[in-house]
């Protein structure tokens, strides 16, 4: 919003305000762990206003480059941890905002809602566009799972702006159009100007225009930035005085640099108060000092707003930066320090995925890929892949899309995974370095693997010692979890779900290994002590499959028991989806690793050999109350390999 | 079968044998705990033959009186515990066998399959009946959930029997008719005669007739009784020699009395071997001696059959008696001493209920009533009563059907529950005597209550001391379970499901109590230590409802974790079905108890007062790993009542 000038002018006309909520009436097949998943943004907001719980939201603009997009999405993930009520993505008419480009407003918002699981508001401007164009954008937004629109006029083209008779001249026209064409589907936000819009006839006239937008069906208001809390509080009282009753969220602009402030002032036609100018001018070349001052200033204004009792939510113009906003939120105590996970995996915010309550464990480190490959599903099977529904998984080719790619450039990957591989053992070393976090021979830390974009999860870290040991010997682990026998749901590492519950896990281990190792492993798994205790699936790239699972039923490996609820079992090992995962897991050897090297090069051929000959194995220890036996299984396998004649 | 003479004659004709199995192809929404629930009888039988596991089946005939029916059904429940592969019910043409009478073959078989959860074979005879009549019987059987028919000729009417040209003259005609009209829906059993049918031209001709019945589509054979194992083994070899390959089950007749043996011999035209006659004649007036001899004789013959390696299943003509057959089965070691329950409640054998995997806890002591009231359901909700599907429960009037009534006659109930009640306290005493198993003031034991047909369950017995204490003080408990934190699924008292698993429970307590007690109880429940821990529902007969359950979601109170499976949660407390249960629970005060007394009598008015003024309460302690706090809740309530001024 900061990057655009908005029109608050609007034609006066009788409004058709939002009709009854068009709530999904289909049968809910899953227990509802998180009431918020079923609420519309305006309901969530209303609930916070009613309860007095403080909240915040974050505004971003679309990046200019694909690399910038990858970085912004990581930022969504990180800033999402702090618990914003929503984020919003601005609309850049010059950047083809409704297109499928990686950097378009539409696609960035799509990524935020679907892959990052964030409640997302998409900005949309209407001037200089036809009804059909706008309807097309809205339809696309709806199709992608976006449920909230910030309706804006946008910048007129050219210096002197003239009304078009049939066109969209004001934000209120867009609000009306949305309500007319999409009924109550979208929650609509509009812009408010605490000092009045610069183009408005007067402050009072601007207030009346705002009321028209609300009457036309807007659900809440976000304000343009301001520099003093009194400005906002006076505006809010004036709004109330003329009968605006919807939530009004103050827009907070943390000053982060001298130039961005100047740019902003130019665009918004706001005047920076003298006392701020006086502080800033002397330090204008000291970015850190300006940012510190900006944080201090914004935090104290926010505190005044919250203390007024009239404000429960704050909207931040982040300028796509992380540090200043996070710092302010932490100082205010509204950054969630202990993010409560509703489920062990990040829930997508697409309305179709509301009922999703179970996923295969295989994609634990590649959740975006799972969401992508299942985006066409209408149903999220309650662990039923195995029985009869077997929904198809999306094609593998899809995951070369930029947001599923490795975040690191080729040169960095080569440094981590080896400029030149000399043997299978040099591949083992890469895995070992990833686990141990020790630098490799060339002194580079291995911070990701083709199957793991991020360093080891805190939980997996519990298993670090054993993982290190087995990877050295060619058990190339890509996924694992320890067993858990009833830990509180609030446990900082393994907890999830509402408080007062208990969470459980069966131990899980997934790895690639050579066919020689498999021969020994199978002998061990058939030993009496493991036979009934450990379930295994072993498969190679050609789909040759060895298992002791009695049928195609899923095995629940993570579950939780909560007060007043049904049992939740969000993670399963299921034989059917494992075959889809197998394709992806093997393809990653080639697509992400082998292709770093020249064709026919020894390095490439080593990876190709592993891809062609190794097996992918998953093991579940069903005895969750006892000590995890999977390490002993691997130990016994090594022992058998060492003295092959003995058995 | 013993009570009927069967025709083994049959016309020779090309057969249309059973087509492909018409398995239910609808989506299975539940994890399959028990493979047998999905198998047809012939598949179960084949599996036992393949594995060599020994099994048995039990034959009953329909009783003559309604009282006899109630007793027979209790016998089904008890003998069902021993694990028969199936039971069968004979067809009595003279007793209107296809009618809706309480004593008809059809209704007895219906009860066995639906309410007792037994795999059931219904006999059916065909002579002297029209095609339409027979089709009508078969359609009705299918509608009731019966899946297996024993196809018989039946007794011709009159001394001299003549073939009807268009009618059903032989059992093979019935087999063909079933396959023609119902395709492969039914599993079909036919009768075999180890000595040849008395009316057959020869033993060899009778064998050929048997082969025709099998070729026409019969799935297995049960034989007429015989007195020597050699007789059966020779018959079996002869059957195999002419190409009969289906299972042949020997029919075992334990001699239980002199007169029943004579009657049988007359009907079956079999000759009793001399050595048996010689033992029996001298002791013909000593029933006990004859039965002991019969048990000894049958057990040793069964042992010979099993030892032959040709027999894995035994079919018993029980004559509706329990002791002799049970004794033989125990001696043979094929009576299940430790019945493994697939779920905590008895699973109905109706094919529609295959997928049923969750029930409300409220009907724990009235499972037949639950089955009856939900018999029209197409879906068995996976704990979803609360969300949106809310299937209607059958009308209350239904449960006056004889098999849901109390098994005791009025006089006995009056002795147990009081010829004359003088106060609410005299009602408390009845509950206390039921719990403690001590005789009441008149010296009578209280073995049932309107809500509990049977004495306390073994599991509830664990809570006896506390239950005794609270009932004395007017907390009239009708249902409870202790908490369980991961006991082996093979635990003899609380275990269920496949071996190798762990079962869990949340503590549950359900009771009626006065409104004064409710006032104090509510204060206690709102204390901080219970507020987030205990879920409660409190309701009176008018449906006035007090609860702290946050929404209409069910609370799982019994669940199990098994190797290679999803979580199973077979018992829930759910708010929606509680309202249906409430109607039933309050009605039982009036229908079963108040109506024992004259109208306007003080006794009746006391029960009516309780019905009108008491509340029904259920409590769940969500903290299953800690000590059950529900007794402390009640204790605290009493304390509050004792010193009402203190709080």
pLDDT for the residue A17: 36
Q: How far, in Å, CA of A497 to CA of A561, rounded?
A: 9
| B383 shares contact with chain A (CB less than 8 Å) | yes
Contacts of A201 (CB under 8 A, 6+ apart): none
Minimum-distance CB partner of A625 among B502, B535, B555: B502
Whether the model clears a pTM of 0.90, i.e. scores above it, the answer is no
Per-residue pLDDT at B602 exceeds 90: yes
Say which of B500, B550, B625 has its CB closest to residue A564: B550
Question: What is the arrangement of strands in the sheet containing A502-505, beginning at the earlier edge strand?
Answer: A359-360, A568-573, A555-561, A502-505, A484-488
Cα B280 to the center of its chain, rounded Å: 36
Is residue B383 predicted with pLDDT exceeding 90? no
Q: Which tens digits make up the pLDDT trace of A138-163?
A: 999 999 999 999 999 987 655 444 55
pLDDT, tens digit, for every residue of A301-355? Answer: 999 999 999 999 999 999 999 999 999 999 999 998 776 788 888 888 887 787 7
pLDDT of A645: 62
Give the pLDDT confidence of B336-374 residue by residue, as tens digits: 877 678 888 888 888 778 778 888 898 888 888 888 888
Residue B645 has pLDDT above 80, yes or no: no
Per mean pLDDT, which range of A608-622, B248-262, B598-612 is the poorest?
B248-262
Q: How far apart are CA A141 and CA A136, in angstroms?
A: 9
Instruction: List Cβ neighbours of B94 (8 Å cut-off, separation of 6 or more).
Output: none
Query: What confidence score (pLDDT) does residue B7 get?
Result: 36
The answer to whether A390 contacts chain B (CB < 8 Å) is no
CATH architecture of A35-332: Alpha-Beta Barrel (3.20)
Summarize pLDDT for B202-259 with one digit per residue, the tens.
Answer: 999 999 999 999 999 999 999 999 999 999 999 999 999 999 999 999 999 999 988 8
Q: Which of A29, A564, A570, A571 to mutate to test the interface with B (most CBs of B within 10 A)?
A: A564
CA distance linking residue A151 with residue A186, whole number of Å: 11
Q: Residues 497-516, chain B: which have Cβ within 8 Å of A?
A: 500, 502, 504
Q: Residue B178's pLDDT is what?
A: 96
Report the alpha-carbon distance of residue B220 to residue B425 in Å, rounded.
60
Q: What is the pLDDT of residue B618?
A: 97
For chain B positions 239-298, those within 8 Å of chain A (CB to CB) are: none
Q: Which tens digit of pLDDT belongs to each residue from B258-267?
A: 888 888 888 8
Q: How far is B307 from chain A (nearest CA, A)?
A: 30
Q: Does B618 touch chain A (CB under 8 A)?
A: no
Q: What local confidence, expressed as pLDDT, does residue B385 receive?
A: 60
C-alpha B331/C-alpha B314 separation (Å) is 14
Q: Nearest 5°: phi and psi at A215?
A: -65, -30
CB contact under 8 A, B27 and A388: yes
- Average per-residue pLDDT in chain B? 86
Q: Does A624 touch chain B (CB under 8 A)?
A: yes
Contact A533/B563, CB-based, under 8 Å? yes
Asked whether the predicted pLDDT for residue A512 surpasses 60, the reply is yes
d(CA B351, CA B355): 9
pLDDT of residue B644: 61
Residue A557 in contact with partner chain B when CB distance is under 8 A: no
Ordered by start, the domain boundaries in chain A are 35-332, 359-641
Q: What distances in angstroms separate CA B447 from CA A44, A579, B370, B464, one per listed residue?
A: 55, 57, 22, 14
pLDDT at residue A8 tops 90:
no
**pLDDT digit string (tens) for A28-58?**
234 445 666 678 999 999 999 888 899 999 9
- pLDDT tens digits, one per residue of B565-591: 989 999 999 888 899 899 999 999 998
Cα distance from B507 to chain A (closest Cα, Å)? 12
Whether the predicted pLDDT of A74 surpasses 80: yes
The ipTM assigned to this model is 0.77
Instruction: With beta carbons under 8 A apart, name residues in chain A contacting B551.
Output: 32, 35
Give the pair of three-digit tokens for residue B362.
């409220």
Q: Which chain B residue has the Cα nearest residue A620? A: B564
Catalytic residues of A: 59
3-class DSSP assignment, residue B151: strand
Residues A91-99, mean pLDDT to the nearest whole number: 88
Check A532 against B29: CB less than 8 A apart.
no
Crossing angle, helix A105-114 and helix A66-80, to 10 degrees? 30
Q: How confident is the model at residue A635, as a pLDDT?
A: 94
């Amino acid at each position: 919003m900061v990057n655009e000038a908005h029109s608050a002018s609007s034609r006066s006309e009788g409004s058709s305000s939002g009709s009854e909520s068009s709530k999904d009436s289909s049968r809910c097949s899953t227990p509802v762990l998180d009431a918020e998943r079923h609420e519309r943004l305006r309901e969530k907001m209303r609930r916070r206003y009613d309860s007095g719980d403080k909240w915040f939201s974050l505004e971003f603009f679309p990046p200019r480059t694909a690399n910038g997009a990858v970085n912004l999405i990581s930022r969504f993930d990180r800033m999402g941890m702090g618990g914003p009520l929503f984020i919003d993505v601005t609309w850049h008419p010059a950047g083809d905002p409704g297109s499928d480009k990686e950097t378009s407003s539409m696609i960035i918002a799509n990524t935020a809602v679907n892959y990052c699981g964030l409640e997302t508001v998409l900005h949309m401007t209407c001037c200089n566009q036809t009804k059909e164009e706008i309807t097309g954008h809205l339809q696309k937004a709806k199709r992608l799972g976006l449920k909230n629109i910030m309706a804006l006029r946008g910048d007129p083209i050219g210096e002197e702006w003239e009304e078009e008779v049939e066109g969209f001249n004001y934000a209120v026209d867009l609000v009306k159009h949305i309500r007319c064409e999409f009924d109550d589907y979208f929650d609509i936000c509009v812009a408010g100007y605490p000092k009045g819009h610069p183009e408005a006839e007067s402050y009072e006239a601007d207030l009346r225009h705002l009321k028209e937008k609300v009457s036309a069906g807007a659900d809440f208001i976000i304000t343009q930035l301001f520099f003093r809390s009194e400005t906002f509080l006076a505006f809010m009282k004036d709004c109330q005085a003329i009968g605006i009753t919807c939530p009004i969220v103050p827009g907070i602009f943390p000053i982060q640099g001298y130039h961005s402030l100047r740019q902003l002032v130019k665009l918004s036609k706001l005047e920076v108060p003298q006392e701020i100018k006086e502080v800033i001018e002397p330090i204008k070349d000291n970015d850190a000092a300006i940012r510190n001052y900006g944080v201090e200033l914004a935090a104290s204004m926010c505190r005044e707003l919250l203390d007024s009792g009239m404000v429960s939510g704050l909207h931040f113009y982040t300028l796509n930066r992380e540090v200043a906003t996070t710092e302010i939120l932490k100082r205010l105590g509204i950054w969630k320090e202990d993010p409560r996970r509703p489920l062990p995996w990040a829930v997508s915010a697409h309305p179709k995925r509301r009922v999703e309550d179970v996923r295969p464990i295989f994609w634990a480190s590649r959740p975006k890929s799972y969401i992508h490959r299942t985006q066409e599903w209408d149903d999220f099977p309650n662990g039923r892949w195995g029985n009869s529904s077997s929904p198809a998984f999306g094609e593998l080719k899809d995951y070369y899309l930029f947001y599923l790619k490795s975040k690191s450039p080729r040169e960095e990957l080569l440094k981590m995974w080896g400029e030149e591989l000399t043997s299978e053992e040099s591949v083992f070393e890469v895995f070992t370095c990833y686990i141990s976090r020790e630098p490799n021979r060339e002194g580079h830390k291995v911070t990701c693997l083709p199957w793991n974009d991020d360093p080891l999860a805190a939980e997996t870290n519990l298993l670090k010692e054993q993982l290190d040991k087995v990877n050295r010997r060619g058990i190339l682990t890509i996924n694992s979890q320890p067993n858990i026998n009833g830990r509180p749901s609030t446990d900082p590492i393994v907890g999830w779900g509402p408080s007062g519950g208990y969470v459980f896990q069966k131990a899980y281990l997934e790895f690639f290994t050579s066919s020689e190792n498999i021969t020994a492993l199978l002998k061990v798994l058939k030993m009496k002590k493991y036979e009934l205790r450990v379930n295994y699936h072993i498969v190679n790239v050609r789909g040759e499959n060895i298992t002791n699972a009695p049928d195609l039923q899923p095995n629940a490996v993570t579950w939780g028991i909560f007060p007043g609820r049904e049992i939740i079992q969000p993670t399963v090992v299921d034989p059917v989806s494992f075959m889809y995962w197998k394709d992806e897991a093997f393809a990653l050897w080639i697509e992400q690793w082998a292709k770093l090297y020249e064709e026919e090069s020894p390095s490439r051929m080593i990876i190709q050999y592993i891809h062609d000959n190794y097996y992918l194995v998953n093991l579940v220890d069903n005895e969750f109350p006892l000590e995890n036996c999977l390490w002993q299984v691997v130990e016994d396998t090594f022992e058998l390999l060492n003295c092959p004649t003995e058995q």
